[in-house]
Amino acid sequence: MSELEFRQAIRDALDEEIERDTAVVFFGEDVAAAGGVFMTTPGLQEKHGSDRVFDTPISELAMAGAAFGAAVTGLRPVIEIMFGDFMGLAMDSLVNQSAKFWYVSNEQASVPLVVRSAVGAGGRFGAMHSQIHGTWFQGIPGLKIVGPSNPADAKGLLKSAIRDDNPVIFLEHKRLYSMKGPPPTEETVRLGKAAVAREGSDITIVSALRGVRDSLEAAEQLADDGIDAEVIDIRSLRPLDHETVLESVAKTNRVLMLEEAPRVGGWAGNLLGILTAEGLHDLDDAWIVATQDTPAPYSPTLEDAWLAGGREVASAVRERLGVAAPS
Amino acid sequence: MAETQTERARERREKPGESPAEYLERYGRMRLIRRFEQEIHRLFLKGEVHGTTHLSAGQEAVPVGVCSALEPDDYVAGTYRGHGHALAKGTDPEALAAEMLGRVTGVCGGRAGSMNVVDLENGLVGCFGIVGGSIAAATGAALSAQRQGGVAVAFFGDGASNQGYFHECLNWAQVFALPVVYVCENNFYGEFTPMASVTAGGEIGIRAASFGMPSRVVDGNDLWAVREAAVEAVDRARGGDGPTLLECQTYRHYGHSKSDPAKYRPHDEVERWLARDPVDLARGRLLELGVGDDDLAAKEAEIDAQMNRAVEGALAAPYPDPHLNSGTEFKE
């Protein structure tokens, strides 16, 4: 079976869900005629018509608000907020309208809405086009926050997000768009459930999005040193599936969390808090590898140093475990 | 000339929705809102309404006039000063009062309170505690309404016309010719600050022109004037000709919220507006149109009795039980 490219997986999920359910509409900046700035959505407007797929003004607040109003009156909007960094502009509607509606309305209706964005650093996009906004929303009840680390999950998670009756923030790491991998074996991937990306017995490495690729690369390097790492793709920041991590830690007794953001206020710190409260008896060691406490820099040398990649993760594990690096 | 005027007046009365009997019903709805706000004010002072509340007494002609132009399936988005929006769209006064009192029989089971009421069964997609939120909610509802043959209305205050929501959404709605009516209830104060001191350009209605959108500036204390403008705007929306901005100039009788005695408003200004109380104006107009004092008194007694029953029922209802009514974060 031929491999599936990540951006094609996103496009296929949208295409199939727009086809499957006439309530699904998709809109955003440059998504229709131009096909998306990361070329994730070409041809969707031609195929499904401008009633279902359309370009909007550069008005993120109106976009999020319009999606909310449409979602509580019968449509199932998928919107693209081009770069996650722009989510600050959309925040009031997502936080105060979409996230609260199901509960505050006493469950009169839910808000079936998906907000897709390209996120993450490493693309030399600079400080205002490189952030991962998932944690900005992590403390808001009523929002689901998910993100894939491979093409199969990209398709399955996005399809699940579109079929979900709640507002879902969907994170697409821009350094994954060109990744190829096996196509999905299942139609959908359950939201809110972490995945064991690699089994191991000596240490658990938990990450998300692009960080999962780096963790898997680190695990291969560590295998050469006789360290058998388990890698968990957290896949969802809210709900946060700590149970899968606790199960893993019960086996490995060590956990490293790799997060592409500063340590304070991140998902890794949240997870570490839950692990220590509920799994301290299983923990011999637990720590976080995060970015520097600065905005993402532009220059390649600075940005590469700001980000931790597979090699940095592997050496962090060796150092912590007192294993000498290979000569 | 006189004959033509009489003829015009007769024609208008004979148009659907323009009979004195129908205006008597609308007057009743205005009185219901006024009585509701008076009761909430009283219950707040007794400690039965918690936190804060924003009363709309003095502004009743706007929601009643606008909602009289809507069908039951049409959508409305209101503000944190939204009791009138809900009652005008058809929310049950007892369920609304119970919501204010935090009772389990409230229209949102006591989860929403005064500022965030939702009543989808009556087309109220929500009242929003953030200034300008209603503008976006109605714009989005209009995306659905466009496919359903319906219309969406956003109520918002003068303060919201300086929010990004206003400018982004009016542009959006005009671009897509959405069936939406933007109703600015200009009560001349954004919270405690005079509108004119923080709003450039004078009237709010003229802002629509920059989007190529039609607009009207309306006497918001005149039920007939509001309804006439609303019917025109709703017809335009339903006919596929896009949105309209209505600036309805009105005045709130109370302060911004329950912590505000509104001492910043000049005495003579308050007196001037109180002399143009929209409920009194509507009553006077109905008398001119030949509605009898008896009929008016009967309608008033009916509304007052309804309101008394609503408050009694709401006060008798239990508070939500945290074990039974705590709810879920997500729809499963």
Tokens of A163: 């079929």
B143 to A69: CB separation less than 8 angstroms, yes or no:
yes
Interface test with A, best of B80, B114, B117, B125 (most A CBs within 10 A): B125
B143 to A101: CB separation less than 8 angstroms, yes or no:
no
A187-204 confidence digits (pLDDT tens): 999 999 999 999 999 999
In this predicted structure, what is the pLDDT of residue B1? Answer: 45
> pLDDT class for A146, splitting at 50, 70, 90?
very high
Gap between the Cα atoms of B211 and A256, Å rounded: 54
CA atoms within 13 A on the CB side of A6: 20
> pLDDT class for A323, splitting at 50, 70, 90?
confident
Name A277's Cβ contacts closer than 8 Å, sequence gap at least 6: none
Gap between the Cα atoms of B24 and A278, Å rounded: 65
From-to residues of CATH 3.40.50.920 in chain A? 195-320
Name the residue in chain A with its Cα closest to that of B327: A103
CB B100 within 8 A of CB B42: no
Contacts of B111 in chain A (CB under 8 A): 103-106
> Which value, to the nearest 10 degrees, does the dihedral of the CA atoms of residues B96, B102, B107, B113 take?
80
- Phi (first) and psi of residue B193, to 5 degrees: -105, 130
Class of CATH domain A195-320: alpha beta
Judged by a CB distance cut-off of 8 A, whether residue A103 touches chain B is yes
B121 to A144: CB separation less than 8 angstroms, yes or no:
no
B129 to A59: CB separation less than 8 angstroms, yes or no:
no
Look at chain B and report how many structural domains it folds into. 1
Question: What is the average pLDDT across A295-313?
Answer: 94
Q: Tally C-beta pairs within 8 A across A and B.
A: 145
Least confident range from A130-144, B163-177, B249-263: namely B249-263
Q: How far apart are the first and last CA of chain B?
A: 67
Q: CATH number of the domain at B93, please.
A: 3.40.50.970
For B186, left (φ over 0), alpha (ψ -120 to 50), or beta? beta
Judged by a CB distance cut-off of 8 A, whether residue A71 touches chain B is yes
Bridge-based pairing state of the strands B215-219 and B193-194: unpaired
> pLDDT class for A68, splitting at 50, 70, 90?
very high
Which SS3 state, helix, strand or coil, does residue B126 take? Answer: strand
Gap between the Cα atoms of A324 and B233, Å rounded: 76
Closest among A42, A10, A58, A33 to A178, alpha carbons compared: A10
Q: Is B299 a member of any domain? A: yes
Residues on chain B bordering chain A, Cβ-to-Cβ distance under 8 angstroms: 75, 77, 106-109, 111-112, 116, 118-121, 125-126, 128-130, 133, 135-145, 147-148, 152, 164-165, 168-169, 171-172, 175, 327-331
Question: What is the average pLDDT across B104-108?
Answer: 98
Q: Is B103 a member of any domain? A: yes
Gap between the Cα atoms of A191 and A188, Å rounded: 9
A106 to B143: CB separation less than 8 angstroms, yes or no:
no
- Residue span of the structural domain in which B78 resides: 19-312
Tell me how long chain B is.
332
B111 to A67: CB separation less than 8 angstroms, yes or no:
no
Q: Is B47 a member of any domain? A: yes
Nearest to B171 among A57, A77, A93 (CB): A57
Tell me which CATH code domain A4-181 carries: 3.40.50.970
Gap between the Cα atoms of A184 and A139, Å rounded: 31
A82-103: b or e for each residue (b if 16 or more CB lie within 10 Å)? bbbbbbebbbbbbbbbbbbbbb
Residue B241 has pLDDT above 50, yes or no: yes
Residue A59 has pLDDT above 70, yes or no: yes
Residue B9 has pLDDT above 90, yes or no: no
Q: Is B220 a member of any domain? A: yes
In this predicted structure, what is the pLDDT of residue B4? Answer: 64
* Secondary structure in 3-state letters for chain A: CCCEEHHHHHHHHHHHHHHHCCCEEEEECCCCCCCCCCCCCCCHHHHHCCCCEEECCCCHHHHHHHHHHHHCCCCEEEEEEEEHHHHHHHHHHHHHHHHHHHHHCCCCCCCCEEEEEEECCCCCCCCCCCCCHHHHCCCCCCCEEECCCCHHHHHHHHHHHHHCCCEEEEEEECCCCCCEECCCCCCCCCCCCCEEEECCCCEEEEECCHHHHHHHHHHHHHHHCCCCEEEEECCEEECCCHHHHHHHHHHHCEEEEECCCCCCCCHHHHHHHHHHHHHHHHCCEEEEECCCCCCCCCCHHHHHHHCCCHHHHHHHHHHHHCCCCCC
What is this model's ipTM? 0.94
Contacts of B142 in chain A (CB under 8 A): 69
A257-273 confidence digits (pLDDT tens): 999 999 999 999 999 99
CA distances from B302 to B22, B39, B94, B187, B312 (A): 16, 16, 15, 29, 15
Closest among A104, A194, A116, A109 to A161, alpha carbons compared: A116
> pLDDT class for B16, splitting at 50, 70, 90?
confident
Name B307's Cβ contacts closer than 8 Å, sequence gap at least 6: B32, B35, B36, B39, B93
Interface test with B, best of A86, A106, A163, A190 (most B CBs within 10 A): A106
Tokens of B86: 């809900």
CB B114 within 8 A of CB B55: no
From-to residues of CATH 3.40.50.970 in chain A? 4-181
Q: Is B48 a member of any domain? A: yes
Gap between the Cα atoms of A82 and B262, Å rounded: 44
In this predicted structure, what is the pLDDT of residue B2? Answer: 52
Nearest to B136 among A61, A102, A107 (CB): A61
Nearest to A165 among B129, B140, B331 (CB): B331
- Signed CA dihedral, B172, B112, A160, A128: sign only: positive
Closest among A27, A87, A41, A29 to B140, alpha carbons compared: A27
Marked catalytic residue, from A129, A133, A173, A242: A129
B137 to A56: CB separation less than 8 angstroms, yes or no:
no
B276-291 confidence digits (pLDDT tens): 999 999 999 999 999 9
Name the residue in chain B with its Cα closest to that of A67: B140
Bridge-based pairing state of the strands A144-146 and B189-190: unpaired
Residue A292 has pLDDT above 90, yes or no: yes
- Signed CA dihedral, A106, A107, A109, A113: sign only: positive
Nearest to B111 among A66, A97, A104 (CB): A104
A70 to B144: CB separation less than 8 angstroms, yes or no:
yes
B128 to A64: CB separation less than 8 angstroms, yes or no:
no
B179-225 confidence digits (pLDDT tens): 999 999 999 999 999 999 999 998 999 999 999 999 999 999 999 99
Judged by a CB distance cut-off of 8 A, whether residue A22 touches chain B is no
Share of chain B above pLDDT 90, in %: 91
Q: Tokens 């119970």 — which residue?
A: B98
Known catalytic residue at A281: no
> pLDDT class for A104, splitting at 50, 70, 90?
very high
Q: Tokens 């309805």 — which residue?
A: B248
Contacts of A68 in chain B (CB under 8 A): 136-137, 140
Residue B6 has pLDDT above 90, yes or no: no
Tokens of A218: 């680190």
Contacts of B126 in chain A (CB under 8 A): 72, 97, 101, 105
A226-252 confidence digits (pLDDT tens): 999 999 999 999 999 999 999 999 999
- B108, with CB counted inside 10 A (0-12, 13-18, 19+), is buried
Nearest to A104 among B116, B119, B164 (CB): B116
Which SS3 state, helix, strand or coil, does residue B156 take? Answer: strand
CA distance A13 to chain B (A): 22
Q: Is B12 a member of any domain? A: no
Judged by a CB distance cut-off of 8 A, whether residue A65 touches chain B is yes
Share of chain A above pLDDT 70, in %: 99
Return mean pLDDT, chain A: 97
